[in-house]
Amino acid sequence: MKRAVPLTRSLDSILGQKSKVAVLRVLYDRHEELNGREIARRAGLAPRAANVALNDLAQTGLIDKTIVGNNHIYSINSSNYLSSSALGNLFQEESALPGTIAREVAAAVKSDHVVTVAWFGSTATGKRKAASDFDLLVILRDSHDSNSVKKKLEGTQEAFSESFGIRLMPYVLGAGELVSRYRKGDRLIREIIRDAIVLFGKPLSEVIIDEP
């Protein structure tokens, strides 16, 4: 007989298993109704591991499970308190974390000097390891401010590490320098622009078009 989990310890079995966290993250991402195979694909799990996690979560009432033809369809149970409030807020904060970091960076620099803050590298492409750096491209209006801003942000690394658990690695450029290097075919700049996720300010495509 399965041992009952005390109400005040409900999160033990949920957050204590990576597979459950992974499938919940997928379902909270866009609040879609998805079948088990698609959830497994998005979560990066084997179908069997995903199905075990989904069935356990359905039994707790955190997610809804319906049968449509030959498919089992899963979605977040918005009527469940933990799903709609506690866990919903937790995953929402996690999803918003990169944007929060970008705004903190812009505030540290003084946002009126910042054109764009964009996220690139392994953390942005979903290949982050525990020790990965958090790479941010910081585009300034004036290239002359690049060195002073870089030093200022390097001085905030310890604070960012304590607040967000990341090692901030700012790559600071003036808008003119970014565009000049892009037009000259600079491989690094082109790779960053291709893969970067803009978190604050102007889209990189607009920076390139607008800069004379």
| 103-147 residue pLDDT tens | 888 888 876 788 999 988 876 666 555 445 788 899 998 888 888
Boundaries of every domain in the chain: 7-79, 95-210
Does the domain at residues 7-79 carry the CATH identifier 2.30.30.100? no
User: What per-residue confidence (pLDDT) applies to 48?
Assistant: 94
Q: What is 95-210's CATH superfamily?
A: Beta Polymerase, domain 2 (3.30.460.10)
Vertex 113, ends 107 and 199: CA angle to 5°?
60
Antiparallel, parallel or unpaired: β 133-140 and 114-120: antiparallel
Q: What is the pLDDT of residue 89?
A: 85
pLDDT at 2 over 50: no
Grade residue 152 by pLDDT with cuts at 50, 70 and 90: confident
pLDDT recorded at residue 180: 93
Contact 115, 140 (CB under 8 A): yes
Question: What pLDDT, on the 0 to 100 scale, is given for residue 9?
Answer: 57
Which structure tokens are listed for 148?
A: 């002073």
Q: How far apart are the C-alpha atoms of 88 and 132, rounded to whole Å? A: 26
The predicted structure's pLDDT at residue 111 = 66
pLDDT of residue 124: 67
* pLDDT tens digits, one per residue of 90-99: 888 888 888 8
Quickly state the pLDDT bin for 23 (edges 50, 70, 90).
very high
Categorize the per-residue pLDDT at 162 as very low, low, confident or very high, splitting at 50, 70 and 90: confident
- pTM beyond 0.85: the answer is no
